[in-house]
Structure 1
Amino acid sequence: MLFEACVESFEAALTAQQRGAHRIELCSALDQDGLTPSHELVQRCVQGLSIPVLAMIRPRGGDFVYTEAELDQMERDIKSCQQAGVAGVVFGLLTEDGEIDMHNTERLVRTALPLAVTFHKAIDYSTDVQASFKRLNTLHGITRVLTSGGQTTAWEGRDALKAMHALPGRQIEIVAAGKLLPANRRQLADYTGVTELHGKNIV
């Protein structure tokens, strides 16, 4: 199993690494489910950790339908994170109809390449999680999808996660998220087949 710890400070990232995390998702404002961290924090974590750092790219809380000005900001933030040396970036975009915003997702993926790209839990707010996952599998450059299967917790979404994992021709790694802890992470992995697990308290 691979454990991805979601953190908002260098101290929390270092603690997660010491506890056995394999990868960091670095955010600010976890009380808003994670926003773009500062350039200084990104640099400090990249330089001070020995495990890969992924940076959240999310300019504000709320929904995942972005204006042109916000998309421009996201592009600038991706480039800033690239310069800082992150292993990947994390973002998610929807249309007003609750579909994956394929056009602008592709635009940000092009900006991010060759970094790894995780499409985050915006997918859980789409109208059809399975259909959204299938569409993302057709988009070159998406490395992972972070999801709880459209439910509040990964365990509640376990059947959806299992179905995603079993998708024929699947190109994308699934990272299960949603109230995962050392006490329940093995059970979730065994049930779904998903072995990349994410959480604030995953380790």
Structure 2
Amino acid sequence: MLLEIIACTPEEAAAAEAGGADRIEWIADPGVGGVTPDLSRAAEMRRAVKVPIRVMVRPRGGGFVYSEDEREQMRRDIRRILAAGGLDVVTGVLTPQGTVDESALAGLLNAGPGLAFTFHRAFDEAVDLRRALDTLSVYPQVTDVLTSGGAPGAPEGAAVLAELLRRSAGRPPRILAGAGLTADNLRPFLDATGADRIHIGSAARFGGDPSAPIDPERVRTIRRILEASAGQV
């Protein structure tokens, strides 16, 4: 079981690790779903935790169809992440037709040779999730796909997520289930889908408030649910 927690600061990352996070997704501006954070803090973030960190590369909120200027900014940011060392990437790009933008994606991957990539919830806006997963499977650097199964939240997308998990079994990218998961709905979700990689945002924070700091005890509760589920497999 992998537990990834969203963090915006080194302090939040440390709190998430203290609660049992296996990996951090470092973002800014969670209110718009996350954008590229202040990369000048990369060394500080890396010192804050021992677990892996994946850095959001997204120049703005809104959709996932980008201009060439925006794509160049994303490539520059990935080169900075590569130079910083010890970090990987979270990003996603679509065509106006709602397919994975393979040309743009190849440029991003080439900007960070050797880095691991998560294709984020841009995936959920693709017109055909199964086709999108098959497309991403040809890129070895894309190790994870963060998805709610195309639904507003992962619990509502459980049936599609279960199908995507079956489709991806034994080959990358791995499905990272996220959006709307909490300590209350996690166990039935795991039972319904068989998911073994979980992404948590607001549920890791005091009171479940997206603007509140990370509560290590909430992370521990989620960690215990994952371990209990894994123990029954």
Same fold (TM over 0.5): yes
Return the offset for 1:106. Answer: 1.6
> Which of these two proteins has the greater Rg computed from alpha carbons?
2
Query: What is the CA–CA distance in structure 1 between the aligned matches of 2:182 and 2:41, rounded to whole Å?
Result: 25
The CA RMSD over aligned residues, in Å, is 1.4
Number of residue pairs matched?
203
Query: What is the CA–CA distance in structure 2 between the aligned matches of 1:194 and 1:112, rounded to whole Å?
Result: 28
Query: What is the CA–CA distance in structure 2 between the aligned matches of 1:184 and 1:95, rounded to whole Å?
Result: 34
**Which structure 2 residues correspond to residues 131-146 of structure 1 after superposition, within 5 A?**
131-146=131-146
Check whether the contact 1:55–1:86 (CA below 8 A) recurs between aligned residues. no
Query: What is the CA–CA distance in structure 2 between the aligned matches of 1:53 and 1:139, rounded to whole Å?
Result: 20
Does residue 58 (structure 1) correspond to residue 50 (structure 2)? The answer is no
Q: Which residue of 2 aligns with 1:199?
A: 200
Query: What is the CA–CA distance in structure 1 between the aligned matches of 2:177 and 2:99, rounded to whole Å?
Result: 20
Q: Which residue of 1 aligns with 2:166?
A: 166
Greater mean deviation of Cα atoms: 110-119 or 27-36: 110-119
Identity rate of aligned residues, in percent?
36
Query: What is the CA–CA distance in structure 2 between the aligned matches of 1:188 and 1:82, rounded to whole Å?
Result: 35
More helix as a share of residues: 2
Return the offset for 1:159. Answer: 1.0
Does residue 112 (structure 1) correspond to residue 112 (structure 2)? The answer is yes
Query: What is the CA–CA distance in structure 2 between the aligned matches of 1:91 and 1:176, rounded to whole Å?
Result: 16
Secondary structure at the counterpart of residue 89 of structure 1: strand
Q: Which residue of 2 aligns with 1:103?
A: 103
User: Where does structure 2 lack aligned partners over 5 or more consecutive residues?
Assistant: 205-218, 220-233
Check whether the contact 1:176–1:194 (CA below 8 A) recurs between aligned residues. yes
**Paired residue type of 2:50:** S
Return the offset for 1:134. Answer: 1.5
Query: What is the CA–CA distance in structure 1 between the aligned matches of 2:157 and 2:124, rounded to whole Å?
Result: 10
User: Where does structure 1 lack aligned partners over 5 or more consecutive residues?
Assistant: none
Query: What is the CA–CA distance in structure 2 between the aligned matches of 1:53 and 1:86, rounded to whole Å?
Result: 8
Return the offset for 1:131. Answer: 1.6
Return the offset for 1:15. Answer: 1.0
**Paired residue type of 2:181:** L
Q: Which residue of 2 aligns with 1:176?
A: 177
Does residue 189 (structure 1) correspond to residue 170 (structure 2)? The answer is no
Q: Which residue of 1 aligns with 2:72?
A: 72
Return the offset for 1:187. Answer: 2.7
Query: What is the CA–CA distance in structure 1 between the aligned matches of 2:86 and 2:93, rounded to whole Å?
Result: 21
Check whether the contact 1:42–1:55 (CA below 8 A) recurs between aligned residues. no
Return the offset for 1:184. Answer: 2.7
TM-score if structure 1 supplies the norm length?
0.94
Check whether the contact 1:26–1:42 (CA below 8 A) recurs between aligned residues. no
TM-score if structure 2 supplies the norm length?
0.83
Secondary structure at the counterpart of residue 167 of structure 2: coil
Check whether the contact 1:4–1:22 (CA below 8 A) recurs between aligned residues. yes
Query: What is the CA–CA distance in structure 2 between the aligned matches of 1:98 and 1:9, rounded to whole Å?
Result: 32
